[in-house]
Structure 1
Amino acid sequence: MSFLGSLRQKTPFFDKIAESFTPAISRDEKFKYEYRLPAEENIIDDTNADISFVGAYSKIMAMSRSKTEINQKSPVSYVYSGRLYLTPHFLVFRDAFDQYSCVLVMNLSTIKRVERSPSESHSFALNITLYSGSKISIQFIGLRYRSEQFSHQLKLNLKNNIETAKNLPQFLSTCYSEFIITKNILHQKDLIPPRAGLGQQFKYPGRAELDKEKAKLRLWFEYFKENGQNMAIVKNHMFQKLIRVGLPNRIRGEIWELCSGSIYLRHANSGEYQKILRDNEGKTSQAIDEIEKDLKRSLPEYRAYQSEEGIGRLRNVLTAYSWKNPDVGYCQAMNIVVAGLLIFMTEEQAFWCLTKLCDIYVPGYYSKTMYGTLLDQKVFEAFVEDRLPILWKHIVQNDIQLSVISLPWFLSLFFTSMPLEYAFRIMDIFFLNGAKTLFQVALAVLKVNADDLSSAEEDGTFIAVLKNYFQTLGDSAYPESDDTNRRQITKFQELLVTAFKEFSIISEGMIIQERNKHQKGILQNIETFVKRTQMRQMPKTFNLTDEDLSNIYDIYYQSIETHKISMGTGSSSMSFDVFIQLLSKFCDWCKPSESDENPAFRKQKTDFLKKLFRKWDSNHLGELTLNDVVTGIDNLKSTDLLQLINYFFSLYDTDNDGELHREEVLQVSEGLLFLTEPWKTGRYIDLLTKQSIEDDIAEKLAREKFNEENTTDEIDLPSDVQVDEEKCKIEQSERYLKAASSFLQRSFEYAKSFELAEEIDLINFSDDELDGEAKKKKFNTLKANVALDPTRPKLLDLATFRMIILADETYELFFASTWGSSIHTDQPIENVMKNRPLRSMFDGIIADGRRVAEQVRRRVDSVTTRGSITSVESAGAHTINSGSVLTSSYGSSKEDRFDDLDDFSHEHQEEHEDLLGSSWVEMEMENEGPNSPDRHNLKTVPTRDLDSQGDLIEFEA
């Protein structure tokens, strides 16, 4: 045996070694990929068996039908040993010798009869008759019960496949192999050839006499007679040899279907292509607009695409696929490939073949980011460096961009690089052997032209050499040879020999291994490029930094798990459920908490987030884009107090009339309860609580420093100061509850009333339930409640809403800083999910002791001046007890704020009392304890209101 022959036999072993370095895939996935089966297929059972196949029109079958002499020697069918597999819709056999001598992929719909073979031995065998009359004998090897188990499962699958089998005759009428058998063997008259590709009408590229079209078609006719056809064909070494020498144009489309497995998809999904076109007729999309631009640029040299017939077919296939696979839609060069398929295929055949191409043969080539093509360019460069080191060194030294040159070869499958008749020969082998064909041919192109390319020192010359080579593929490769046979060898034949002999070592395993090596880097580069591009296209923001935008981008796409940025798959828009997940990652008020177990709170949360979602949905499509989210967050992060209040008001003002009705006011109150829940429950602290804690710490330290002998020394804060966390939580919770209650009361107190056109009984009382007195009593009770009085409708306008919010210190602080600071867009994505515990906040207050130290110094100085520790204690008690009420200027001390009180006269006080009502001061004092010092000294209780500019001011009561 020759060395090459020995090496060829060992090739499967080397493939297995290469596969051992690649990520493991499941047995079913590998099985489906190897035999190009539909995605829903899986191995139900498998067993060892011997199999023999006798074609319906083979010589063996013909002799068995004729009356031959007893002594005449008749042909004997071959028996192959191998493995038999059963899936829901297929029976698959492969031989154990080299896995190429006998491969049978048979659709169960083609089985007409299954019989148990009579045998005197204990062996178990089945005889299967196909629709065409072909016979298959299966001799099971192994335990009998396993054979019977396999047969029983086959029986069940055949029963489940009955409905699909009924459609088989109609499907076979579209296969050209069935037509030539019926016409030339059965001699049926008036047969109409099945509809084929555009070549049937506009002629096929090339010259039929030079390509020996009739001779090739005759060879395939003989092969079909012996080995079956279409859905039940045996593939052997002759099958592969016939493909390598070139397919006849009339059956090229069907063989492409058979090799790619798209014929199985077309059979299983009969009518789906036409249904997609009908259901989406008249619809428009971005993909359709792009398709229209490229239709007339699709193989314009072929006459069919200069007519409306060819353009119409191409439009239908590309449009149907864009609706079937919206993740891909339409991508560059897809029109070129489909145009090539349609020359030999019908629209439906090309549609399903394109599906197989995108999913199996060249995954990622036709995607929004073309990541598959970019990845394979890296793989190709790695092969050139390894197999053509001298040429690669020249390419690197002259900075020639090889990937730019080879990219069109892979993307268009050589359709735009060489004359079509030669590109179709490459496609014949491509559908048989897979993607490795592209690498082998591309390497052979460089190898054959290596001498000329080595003299090219720039990209332009490099491209010119290759372009000239492709245009002369039909010329003699050895025009000056004295050998006549050698002179007849064309450059294309030389290319094929070089590709599939010298580079036959390039295998699927090697390609996968190289793809895995470069995949991470390619995907990261694509993600970086896409992010940079989208960042430039983001809307202008006023409150978000570039770092914020970068973090929002990362969090946004991390939340949409179905969207793969680098692969361009999945919708990049965000649904409401994903929107909630997004906010929960960086908004304190949206993070999961124990309150979520409360149905009332869950309703408040859902209602508010739905309003926010609708507000951000600029296109009113029920989905958010990245720009929608960026704009929405930018509004929430606004540092303009009044602007943020106005924005919150607009969430509930759905009709944009600047007024809220009774139900909308109640919804506003519930929204505020939801937003402030983290602070109401004490999970976080706001600025008022922080200042109260600082004051409390400073007061304790001031007492200690005053009792020391030397009060002028530098004040050192201890690191072990204890804070009463529970007390802080309770005080803060009470303050937020009080704010919510005050908001609702003031809203209906200051809301304006309007008269109904006529008195309407808004509450229906049934006479059967209540008598007259009961009705009157219940109605009077409802009237007594301002919020529920049906005869006095209320409207809350924006100005009044702002006044009520600003009149409450807690809500004013919430809109001024608390809400914005609770949205952590400045944190990287890896840290944004981490909650900050309350204990760490307290520790942070103590650790940053400069402010506390300053307060301690001022208190010590104040106490020293007064000369009485009693006054210190009194001042301290007053500050601690009333601190949460007195604070309105967040950056200054209380002593500084009281200095301004003398500037306001009694007249100003009356004006403010007229505006807010004298009852407010009384209401503030109702919650104070009976022994509170402020209870006995009302002059120290400040009241707040708005001046003409809307800022808070203070005056003495």
Structure 2
Amino acid sequence: MFINMASPERPVSNGKRDMEIDKYGFTGGDQYTFPGVPGELPAETVRKRETKWLVMLDNWNIWMAKRFPQLKKRCRKGIPSSLRGRAWQLLCGSRPLEAQSNQSFQDLVSSTIPETATEDIEKDLHRQFPFHEMFCQRGGAGQQDLRDVLHAYVAYNPKDGYCQGQAPVAAVLLMHMPAKDAFWCMTAILTYYISGYYSQGLEVIQVDGLIMQSLLRKVCPLAHKHMEKLNISPMLYCTEWFMCIFARTLPWPSVLRLWDMFFCEGVKVLFRCGLVLLRASLGNVASLPIIPDTYETMEKLRKLDKNDMHPEFLMHAIITLRITENDLENEHRLQMKITKKKGNSSVKLVKRVYRYAPTLQHHGIVQKTGATKHLSSVSVDSSQVAKQTQATLPQKDKLHNDAVTLTVYRPISQSSITTLSSSHTSNQQSEGPNKDFQLKNDVDQAKGTYL
């Protein structure tokens, strides 16, 4: 059983609200943002941030190579709305991906895809943010762009094909960039960030759900005990969260802030967000008697408290929650051992990469930028990449004077490791394990939830 991601947002019985358009383009529904909400930034602050971001965007290579911690800090504060689309494309590496592809967006849109995929896409078009001005009109320009993006991705990746969770992701991107850019940005997300989430068997989602449930035991034992007592599968609540990147769960300001961090720091942001929401909803002793059974608990998770989802509260909680890539990798290995030991046939043993490394390519342009040190929040991609990186490092951990570095960031998965230059040398450091949050490797003491 899955949460229905295809259901449209519930109408709001307020004529005035339905006629007005908020600053994000919504005319109503759960995503509508009322003007004058506490926490909105003054216009002067917004202009100052825009100026800073313009400087970064115009000198992107330097900022990624030498000042990434400051860039990450600014992403956590929120990317200015006027520059969000451009920043997302640079963060995810969609432009190099497009440059390397031998297929253009228009060619993919014109390609033939299975009739079943076309029918599924048509069914879902009007369900994506029906209260947004871009998608409210059936057959309008917004829905046509959405159709083209989803059609193109099915042609680009026929193995996975179309899945309902792709449509909200594509719709969010279309609100910030043209259809062609949205397609390549979505392709980068599905290739580098959440690879395997839309496979036919949803194997990666199942594995990540087990990891989420196990991490909950460390983050909030009370909530974990409640979920275990009711035997609630993580697939019941984390499927929509992860596949839609919380686009259908959080208030819109929180969605955008979360996506800013997600593009910059990777999939660990999604785990942190889910754990924060579970802790806030189920971590209070006083609230548990109100939700004694599965139905009440799922209703609680479906109708989350607005205060818990406020962007400032939520982002602070996500940033301060001590869950790193090391924790995710350790828990993944642990869950695979448990699955193999128990002989659980419903969960396939799938490899998973939770780290992202900057590949250094910029449309074939070679630039000298100096050392690229301390990219800790992006980190190194798996032990194989770490070995490859260490092999290229000169003695004393310094670059040769004649070393050439290609510098545009693109997160890559383990399956797409590429040696870009024989003279490429860089010093990339991953986030070290948090001593205050060590996952136990004792399989006998571990408890998991199985589907």
Under a length normalisation based on structure 1, what TM-score does the superposition of the two structures give? Answer: 0.31
How much has 1:359 moved relative to structure 2?
1.6
Alignment match of 2:156 (pick from 307, 324, 339): 324
- The yes-or-no answer on 1:363 pairing with 2:195 is yes
Question: Higher Cα Rg: structure 1 or 2?
Answer: 1
How much has 1:201 moved relative to structure 2?
8.1
Alignment match of 2:80 (pick from 248, 258, 279): 248
How much has 1:513 moved relative to structure 2?
2.3
What amino acid is the match of 2:123? K
How much has 1:437 moved relative to structure 2?
0.4
Alignment partner, residue 512 of structure 1: 329
What amino acid is the match of 2:288? S
How much has 1:468 moved relative to structure 2?
3.6
Alignment partner, residue 495 of structure 1: 314
Q: In 2, distance between residues paired with 1:565 and 1:287? A: 27
CA distances 1:273-332 after superposition (whole Å, capped 9, x unpaired): 112223x16x65332222112111222232321221111011000000100111011113
Please identify which structure carries the higher strand content: 1
Alignment match of 1:454 (pick from 288, 299, 303): 288
Shift of the 272–208 alpha-carbon distance from structure 1 to 2, 3 Å rule, reads: farther
Q: In 2, distance between residues paired with 1:364 and 1:226? A: 32
What amino acid is the match of 2:211? V
Q: In 1, distance between residues paired with 2:107 and 2:195? A: 26
**Aligned partners of 2:109 and 2:152 also within 8 Å:** yes
Q: In 2, distance between residues paired with 1:319 and 1:526? A: 38
What amino acid is the match of 2:329? I
Please identify which structure carries the higher helix content: 1
How much has 1:412 moved relative to structure 2?
1.3
**Aligned partners of 2:57 and 2:87 also within 8 Å:** no
Alignment match of 1:292 (pick from 95, 112, 122): 122
CA distances 1:493-528 after superposition (whole Å, capped 9, x unpaired): 222222211x1x211122122223334776999995
Q: In 2, distance between residues paired with 1:208 and 1:252? A: 20
Shift of the 227–398 alpha-carbon distance from structure 1 to 2, 3 Å rule, reads: closer
Q: Percent identity?
A: 24
**Aligned partners of 2:25 and 2:132 also within 8 Å:** no
Shift of the 457–236 alpha-carbon distance from structure 1 to 2, 3 Å rule, reads: same
**Aligned partners of 2:210 and 2:234 also within 8 Å:** no
Q: In 2, distance between residues paired with 1:512 and 1:526? A: 21
Q: In 1, distance between residues paired with 2:144 and 2:44? A: 31
Alignment partner, residue 208 of structure 2: 376
**Aligned partners of 2:336 and 2:349 also within 8 Å:** no
Alignment partner, residue 305 of structure 1: 135
Q: In 2, distance between residues paired with 1:349 and 1:231? A: 20
How much has 1:390 moved relative to structure 2?
2.2
**Aligned partners of 1:401 and 1:459 also within 8 Å:** no
How much has 1:232 moved relative to structure 2?
6.1
Shift of the 332–497 alpha-carbon distance from structure 1 to 2, 3 Å rule, reads: same
Q: In 1, distance between residues paired with 2:98 and 2:34? A: 31
Tell me the SS of whatever aligns to 2:237: helix
Shift of the 348–389 alpha-carbon distance from structure 1 to 2, 3 Å rule, reads: same
What amino acid is the match of 2:134? A
What amino acid is the match of 2:328? I
How much has 1:419 moved relative to structure 2?
2.2
Shift of the 355–228 alpha-carbon distance from structure 1 to 2, 3 Å rule, reads: same
What amino acid is the match of 1:454? L
Alignment partner, residue 404 of structure 1: 236
Tell me the SS of whatever aligns to 2:158: coil
Aligned residues: 316
Alignment partner, residue 385 of structure 2: none
**Aligned partners of 1:266 and 1:348 also within 8 Å:** no
**Aligned partners of 2:254 and 2:314 also within 8 Å:** no
Tell me the SS of whatever aligns to 2:248: coil
Shift of the 259–462 alpha-carbon distance from structure 1 to 2, 3 Å rule, reads: same
How much has 1:458 moved relative to structure 2?
1.2
**Aligned partners of 2:128 and 2:171 also within 8 Å:** yes
**Aligned partners of 1:448 and 1:495 also within 8 Å:** no
Alignment partner, residue 301 of structure 2: 466
Shift of the 338–227 alpha-carbon distance from structure 1 to 2, 3 Å rule, reads: closer
**Which structure carries more relative contact order (alpha carbon 8 Å, separation 6+)?**
2
How much has 1:398 moved relative to structure 2?
3.2
Q: In 2, distance between residues paired with 1:413 and 1:524? A: 31
Tell me the SS of whatever aligns to 1:304: coil
CA distances 1:593-644 after superposition (whole Å, capped 9, x unpaired): xxxxxxxxxxxxxxxxxxxxxxxxxxxxxxxxxxxxxxxxxxxxxxxxxxxx
**Aligned partners of 2:63 and 2:71 also within 8 Å:** no
Unmatched 5+ stretches in structure 2: 1-22, 352-451
Tell me the SS of whatever aligns to 2:311: helix
**Aligned partners of 1:527 and 1:565 also within 8 Å:** no
Alignment match of 2:50 (pick from 217, 220, 229): 220
Alignment match of 1:387 (pick from 214, 219, 224): 219
Q: In 1, distance between residues paired with 2:331 and 2:50? A: 37
Shift of the 521–499 alpha-carbon distance from structure 1 to 2, 3 Å rule, reads: same
Alignment partner, residue 447 of structure 2: none
Q: In 1, distance between residues paired with 2:160 and 2:343? A: 16
Tell me the SS of whatever aligns to 2:227: helix
**Aligned partners of 2:212 and 2:234 also within 8 Å:** no
How much has 1:214 moved relative to structure 2?
6.1
Alignment match of 1:339 (pick from 143, 159, 171): 171
What amino acid is the match of 1:497? H
What amino acid is the match of 2:294? D
**Aligned partners of 2:213 and 2:234 also within 8 Å:** yes
What amino acid is the match of 1:228? D
**Aligned partners of 1:205 and 1:421 also within 8 Å:** no
Shift of the 430–212 alpha-carbon distance from structure 1 to 2, 3 Å rule, reads: farther
**Aligned partners of 2:211 and 2:332 also within 8 Å:** yes
How much has 1:428 moved relative to structure 2?
0.9
Alignment partner, residue 413 of structure 1: 245
Tell me the SS of whatever aligns to 2:126: helix
**Aligned partners of 1:338 and 1:350 also within 8 Å:** yes
**Aligned partners of 1:314 and 1:338 also within 8 Å:** yes
Under a length normalisation based on structure 2, what TM-score does the superposition of the two structures give? Answer: 0.62
